[in-house]
Amino acid sequence: MLGAAIAAIAAIPIIAAERIVSGPFYVGVTQRSATMVWVVQSDERTLRASHGSIKAKPSPVRIEKKRFASLQPNTRYDFEVPSAGESRKGYFKTAPAGAVPYRFVVYGDTRTRHDVHRRVIAEVLKRGIPDFVVHTGDLVADGNDFEQWPVFFEIEKELLRQTAFFPSLGNHEQNTPYFQDLFQGESPYYSFDWGNAHFSVIDSNLEDFGSGSQDRRTFWAKQVRWLEQDLQNHQTSTFRFVVSHHPPFTAVGRRQGDNAHVTALTPLFEKYRVSAGFFGHDHNYQHYLKNGDHYVISGGGGAPLYDVDKPPVGITEKVARIENFLSVRVSGDTAHVQGIAIDGSIIEEFDLAATLP
């Protein structure tokens, strides 16, 4: 099985003069398929003249993709891709079928303070490679500046070369077409299954969508209809998780009430018994429990920290002004969640119960 996968992936044509500047990494991973993504840049060209030499600008970077189908569930596939100067190696594992134990990590807002971002990723790696990564948005400071994306991938490369990646769109991505090109194709919202869990990843960044308020209302109404249908169709999943950049609640006093469109979704989450929602946008750790639904903010991936100065009354479980990530270990009818600080200490841990009919 692995030999066939290695042969297929190594056969991807890479022009000898081209250098991989980001990746490869894997998105859209299912039980039977996965998409490999990498970014290449041609070598610089030098023009020589009688008065000296002029170095031309590098050729534009180019996003390349290769989709693999007919894979086997819960199987590790190794890859090796040649590149000018070095060969890129790694692996990913396809999604399992049924109640197979697995672990994933959640973090977000990695857009600035790259030294802190590196420390967060280093702490993730200390605890072993997860089956997949969920990013809660704001991967970079300006999504339309393509030069920032290789910085993100360079920091994350040791992790992302060994796991699958499922990001959500943040406001700092600014609805850039690069996000769709790199990660999800045509739609900024999507869903996926992993073992006994279903994940709905939504695009909460309305501010940069369309040319006016009517465009935003139309887009949001369409997405909410999709989300309700998606949750309704997966009521037999043991766990249902929702991922969004903007949170419905916050302990950051100056930002309370900012995300009314997401707060308005909480009755929908309760109706369809969402196990937990994972969010970013606020640069700290926050955990709320409201009518049986857990809401966890993990936005401490590197961006400057925000104070947690006004925890909502009656629903607050834990808030902390600290860089962090989540580790979620699912086994059968139990999901164990750990909020982990950048120094490796446990902020809190709790269990999610199955939400079967």
Q: Is the pLDDT of residue 255 over 90?
A: yes
pLDDT band at 13 (very low <50, low <70, confident <90, very high): very low
pLDDT at 16: 43
Q: What is the mean pLDDT of residues 36-40?
A: 89
> Between these two residues, 72 and 5, which has the higher pLDDT value?
72
CATH 3.60.21.10 corresponds to the domain 102-353: yes
| Mean per-residue pLDDT over the chain, rounded | 88
pLDDT at 93: 95
pLDDT band at 57 (very low <50, low <70, confident <90, very high): very low
Alpha-carbon distances of 330 from 32, 40, 240, 283, rounded to whole Å: 21, 36, 12, 26
pLDDT at 43: 56
pLDDT at 60: 65
Q: Is the pLDDT of residue 262 over 70?
A: yes
Q: Is the pLDDT of residue 311 over 90?
A: yes
Q: What is the mean pLDDT of residues 264-284?
A: 97
What's the CA gap between 40 and 273, in Å, rounded? 43
Which sequence spans correspond to the domains of the chain?
A: 2-45+55-93, 102-353
Q: What is the mean pLDDT of residues 248-252?
A: 97
pLDDT band at 216 (very low <50, low <70, confident <90, very high): confident
- Compute how many other C-beta atoms are within 10 angstroms of the C-beta atom of residue 350: 16
The closest of 337, 331, 340 to 350, measured between CA atoms, is 337
> Between these two residues, 260 and 188, which has the higher pLDDT value?
260
Q: Is the pLDDT of residue 45 over 70?
A: no
Task: Give pLDDT tens digits for 128-173.
Answer: 999 999 999 999 999 999 889 999 999 999 999 999 999 999 999 9
Least trusted range by pLDDT, from 76-85, 98-107, 249-258: 76-85
Three-state DSSP string of the chain: CHHHHHHHHHCCCCCCCEEEEEEEEEECCCCCCEEEEEEEEECCCEEEECCEEEECCCCCCEEEEEEECCCCCCCEEEEEEEECCEEEEEEEECCCECCCCEEEEEECCCCCCHHHHHHHHHHHHHCCCCCEEEECCCCCCCCCCCCHHHHHHHHHHHHHCCCEEEECCCHHHCCCHHHHHHHHCCCCCEEEEEECEEEEECCCCCCCCCCCHHHHHHHHHHHHHHHHHHHHCCCCCCEEEEECCCCCCCCCHHHCCCCHHHHCCHHHHHHCCCCEEEECCCCCEEEEEECCEEEEEECCCCCCCCCCCCCCCCCEEEEECCCEEEEEEEECCEEEEEEEECCCCEEEEEEEECCCC
Q: What is the mean pLDDT of residues 51-68?
A: 65
pLDDT at 5: 40
